[in-house]
Amino acid sequence: MTSDGFYADLPVLDDFSGVCALGNYRELPDDWCIVVGDVEDSTGAIRAGLYKGVNVLGVSIIAAVQNAAKPLAIPCIFGGDGASLAIPGRLVPKARQALVATRTMAEHQFGLHLRVGIVPSFAIKAAGKQVLVAKHRVSRYFVQCAFAGGGIEYAESLIKDVEAGREFRLEGRAAPEDVDFSGLECRWQAVPSRHGETISLIVKALAPGIEKQSAFYDEVIDRVHSIYGDDDQCRPLHEEGLRMSYDPRKLQFEAGVRSFGGGRISWLRRYLFIVAQNLIGWVFFRFRMQTGGVPWDQYKPDLVLNTDFRKFDGLLREVISGTAEQRARLTEYLEERRAARECVYGIHASPSALFTCLISNRHGDHLHFVDGADGGYAMAAAAMKEQLRNM
């Protein structure tokens, strides 16, 4: 495999459980780098009511780096309050510029601070960690990456450590023309759970060695499946719950990102543009129209399927819909494993899910990054970290 084509040439797994088999992974080439970014003090921002802004900034990192890398396919994982990606080394200058501009946008538009950085693959390997990459099919249009080997966690820890990560962190400011957020959209209301609640789940295995950890994750995935049922039963999004928003408090985040550098008039124009598109979209959906080759009666079904509700980046992350009784059963199982020092975990329950979109085209190539409302992943991560501190 050529270095640029590393990710594009990886075989696609048909089943999510395949992410637990190390034989399905390939090691990231030495001339690639890991890009990480997250919202600093995301828990505080969420408690201040900015959970939607936190999510949008996480997806903004993905949009900025992916647009800088186009047309090259690169792996990415959305973490709720941030994201992790991998890029070839030759794209580092463009990615650095886009990341610093994203950081500037977050501060200017929302008063939130992003930590962003780029860590070379060889530096991760020198620390005794690996970045192993695989990918699995979510839908006919969406292939999701998976990471293993501990390298992503290590890169994230470096960027969060002011001293250890100093040479990898990106500081300073950049201009709006240095970044492209095209494709990012955030236009839908929160989607209520069909079963009573939506949980954001994070599980971290503690067994020594990635082989034992992989076996443990395989067991956890199987247990979640046995408790919550198959994908169609536990997906956090469903067609009946998809409602477009016209609330400026909800639409302000897309408008803020996409009007970066343009001032208040630019923000207002973007907001009115979003509202107009939503009104037109309502007509298209209501009358099941086909325009520009887009069959709008298929858009919502594709949206439901094109979500990253299950993923693996060295930690198991899932956003699933279920009942309080199902959550109690899952918590009991995970508590037994935690008591045996096999794992730590976080679960955050909310009545609904929210999502932010990246639209390449509306024919089907549109991706939707989902989280539990009220800061699901970030709050689950905070609970997991508290368990680690108390061990």
Residue 317 scores a pLDDT above 80: yes
The pLDDT of 210-224, averaged and rounded, is: 96
Pairing verdict, β 132-137 and 26-27: antiparallel
- Mean pLDDT, the chain, rounded, equals 96
Spatial neighbors of 344 by CB under 8 A, at least 6 apart, are 203, 204, 206, 338, 384, 387, 388, 391
pLDDT of the residue at 145: 97
* CA distances, 264 to each of 184, 249, 317, 367 (Å): 20, 15, 38, 29
Tokens for 79, please give them.
């973490």
The pLDDT of 300-306, averaged and rounded, is: 97
The pLDDT of 346-371, averaged and rounded, is: 96
* Measured distance CA(39)–CA(55) in Å, rounded: 9
pLDDT of the residue at 2: 61
- Residue 171: closest CA among 225, 222, 221, 100: 100
pLDDT in tens, 259-273: 999 999 999 999 999
Fold of 12-180: Alpha-Beta Plaits (3.30.70)
Say if residues 155 and 77 touch (Cβ distance below 8 Å).
no
- Residue 263: closest CA among 112, 173, 271: 271
pLDDT of the residue at 137: 97
% of the chain at pLDDT higher than 70: 99
% of the chain at pLDDT higher than 90: 95
* Measured distance CA(369)–CA(7) in Å, rounded: 20
- Residue 83: closest CA among 379, 374, 369, 359: 369
Residue 37 scores a pLDDT above 60: yes
pLDDT band at residue 292 using 50, 70 and 90 as cut-offs:
confident
pLDDT in tens, 168-181: 999 999 999 999 99
The pLDDT of 22-46, averaged and rounded, is: 95
* Measured distance CA(372)–CA(188) in Å, rounded: 14
SS3 track for 339-362: HCCCEEEEEEEECEEEEEEEECCC
pLDDT of the residue at 162: 87
Q: What are the residue ranges spanned by the domains of the chain? A: 12-180
Of 46-55, 104-113, 184-193, 265-274, the poorest mean pLDDT is in 46-55
pLDDT of the residue at 131: 97
Say if residues 220 and 203 touch (Cβ distance below 8 Å).
yes
